A and B are shown apart, each in its own frame.
Chain A
Amino acid sequence: MFKKIMCVLMVVAMAACLFAACGDKKDGGDTKAEGKTLLIGGTGPLTGDASSYGISVKNGAQLAINEINAAGGIDGVQLAFDIKDDKATAEDASTGYDALMDAGMKVSIGSVTSGSCAAFGDKAAGDNLFFITPSASAANVIEKGKNAFRVCFGDPDQGVLAAEELAKNYKNIGCIYDTSDPYSKGIYDAFDAKMKELNAAYKVQSFDAENKKDFSTQAEALKDCDVIFTPFYYTEAGLVCKALVNKGSKALVYGCDGLDGIKDQIEGVDVKVTYITPFDVNSKDEKVAKFVNDYKAAYEGKEPDQFAADGYDAIYAIFNALQKSGFTADDLKLDVSEFGDKMIATFTDPSFSYVGVTGTMTWDASGACTKAPQVVEL
């Protein structure tokens, strides 16, 4: 009975929301008509378990946008950047995509995580919207259409690279992977295939999202290995390192780009960590040093991780491509698909390359990025 009053309140709220949604659309129309800003959209996990990755990408990308706008934008056009929260789910990425399209998005950085980016890419393929994802590394993310590109390494490449490296240099190899994470599973599958091809034996342990805190069992099983391959993110890898040390293991922890950011997780822990990454925060490179300083200045002294660097590079890659394609304010009148074709043509042009904080990148028609991996040892 008394639920009714809530109904009234909520109906009012609903009407307000619907009107707000309509109002949104008009806003998008206005910006289009004025032709002063180019909207770059994206989605990422800004709340929930995976939010630290999404927030890093958001910060890195926003830094790049601010720099470009402070330098006058491109042909007098300012860049606008909007990233919607998708909680790393597919349906929220779809909804975010629709909202961004209504707001007049022309170019996108896709989604931060692989699962969301598959949903985002599926919709973007239908519209031929150009997107370049900073960090969604699963193989299927760029397979949906020719409009999909990425900044980071693909998962299978990293797995193969790691398998070759480990099989060549080490005897007693162990591996832990996360069965619930597309990133980890993707790398592991490629690693496993390559190891079998190389006839190299290794011990394997796994965990999943429900059991990703306590690694004593896995550490116990692998404590006698010389090297342990850890294809997942730094949060869990830090705990794995501590569990290994607790078990008295002297193994080297060997990981992929997800381990970037592990340094402050394992402070004071006696463990050797090596990982393949395109981005090294301590690099002497001038561009990287400038990025790290600017990032620290903008975000209360926080050190950028690889996600932030990827986000930064994604925006600058788009910016450089716009410059190279001879972007003018008139191009804002193009529709999404025409704009996308123009961007795709520029990115797949063999002469186009971009030197960013994660290395020198070139792209082929598949959308995969070619850049040199660095090996960081801690």
Chain B
Amino acid sequence: MAGFASNFKKQFKFKYIVSWVAVLAALIVLIILNNAGVLSRSVTGLLSRIAYSIILAVSLNLVVGFLGELSLGHAGFMCLGAYIGSFFANSISQSIDNKLIVLILAMLVGGVVACIFGFIIGLPALRLKGDYLAIVTLAFGEIVRNVFKNLDIFGGAMGYQSKPYNTKELYIVAFVAVIIVLIIIQNLIRSKHGRAITAIRDNEIAAKAMGINVTFYKLFVFMLSAFFAGVAGVIYGHFTTPVLYTTFSYNYSIEILVMVVLGGMGSINGSIIAATLITIVNFALQSKLSGDLAALRLLIYALILIIVVIFNNAPAFKNIRERFSIKSIIDSRKARNAKSQAKISDDDAKWDRIESKIKNDTILTPDLPHSDAPDESDSKEGK
């Protein structure tokens, strides 16, 4: 027991839990602010949207950032969760009075149904790579949408009339869901299984050779990611009514992908920040640019997207980025203090952001290392 305690102490690092602790702290502050009546209606509504965006981004990051497979059908899982979850909530709401319990049960049911479809989509992932898998997931998302549109039991083209949860309380439930998701994911990626998943990303054949059950882990990641997306869908279904199939188009899947890419592949904290900011930017553009200015909304969003992506990724800006990054600022302060010497231990790996040796090129081009990539050329895999 004592061994466990010391072991725990040794392994425990604040950065492992920073993501969900920060979300928890933010939630507490928000609840206090809300009770004090400071938060306006649109802010509480926005918070629910932020919450389900975070779940979507983080769960997609599991597939794209950690497993290294490109998925363009995440909105399809969300769609399943939203329709099935709302349907389930409506059907049991007569027998169960407590709305919170109904919501939680709906989340589980919506998540499980999405999870089953995650298994089905995970199967092609075993056979396909790169763009081919991407187009299969995109196709899956469009199929789900198309089928729900034609099912009269789900309202058909009119959308499914869900019963929205009180906006002033929904964000609390949603953020608790976010925290649970974050705890699960943070623990998963630091575990043996997490290492196996990133090993598959970095080199599938080598991972196989090391005895990692690639089939199991690929399916597992797809299912887990779909489950969380389904939960996010249920929150969406309780945020607004009707649940309309138009929302879940491939454009929405791509928007989630944008959150993951801007936040940093394989960075949970990055996904949280990017999801929050993109939702806020969208919200701000929508509420500020009304009337005649609305035509500028897409224009500004597109410009922000292009500029941020180019600035963050263009090899030409590498020096500027490194000079002004938070890390370099902290590092230089550390260097000035000069007291802390670099200690190398097993546990120094940054589990919140696991660098891949072959970078993300592998996701789109399975066997074509970009030899004109200026950085990391020395650490590239040996042929």
Contact = CB atoms under 8 A, between A and B. Distances in A.
Verify whether A and B have any Cβ pair under 8 Å: yes
Interface of A: 1-8, 10-11, 13-14, 17-18, 20-22, 24-25, 46-47, 58, 62, 81-85, 88-96, 98-99, 101-102, 114-115, 118-119, 122-123, 138, 140, 178-182, 184-186, 208-210
14 contacts: A2-B322, A3-B264, A3-B270, A4-B325, A10-B274, A46-B291, A46-B295, A83-B291, A89-B246, A91-B49, A95-B286, A96-B286, A115-B242, A119-B242
Interface string B254-278: 0000000011100100100110110
Among B157, B281, B291, B292, max chain A CB count under 10 A is at B157
Interface of B is mostly: helix
Given A17-B280, A24-B287, A115-B244, A91 B236 contact: yes
Contacts of B276: 14
A85 B297 contact: yes
Contacts, number: 173
A18 B239 CA distance: 21
B45 interface: yes
A145 to B, nearest CB: 13
Contacts of B321: 2, 5
B91 interface: no
A22 B41 CA distance: 11
B364 to A, nearest CB: 19
B324 A179 contact: no
Contacts of B218: none
Interface stretch (B126-134, B158-166, B206-214, B223-231): B158-166
B158 A20 contact: no
Contacts of A24: 40, 287
Contacts of B325: 1-2, 4-5
Contact of B146 (A58, A122, A210): A210
Contacts of A92: 286
B240 A20 contact: no
A88 B290 CA distance: 14
Among B42, B150, B159, max chain A CB count under 10 A is at B42
Given A14-B276, A95-B283, A90 B312 contact: no
B263 A82 contact: no
Given A5-B321, A102-B40, A13 B281 contact: yes
B312 A2 contact: yes
Contacts of A81: 291
Nearest to B164: A122
B273 to A, nearest CB: 5
Contacts of B324: 5
A269 to B, nearest CB: 28
Given A85-B286, A95-B46, A101 B157 contact: no
Contacts of B245: 180
A21 B280 CA distance: 10
Interface string B33-70: 00000001111111001000000000000000000000
Nearest to A28: B40
Given A5-B324, A119-B240, A208-B149, A102 B284 contact: no
A79 B25 CA distance: 43
Contacts of A90: 159, 240-244, 247
Contacts of B284: 17, 20-21
A115 B246 contact: yes
Contacts of B288: 20
B290 A85 contact: yes
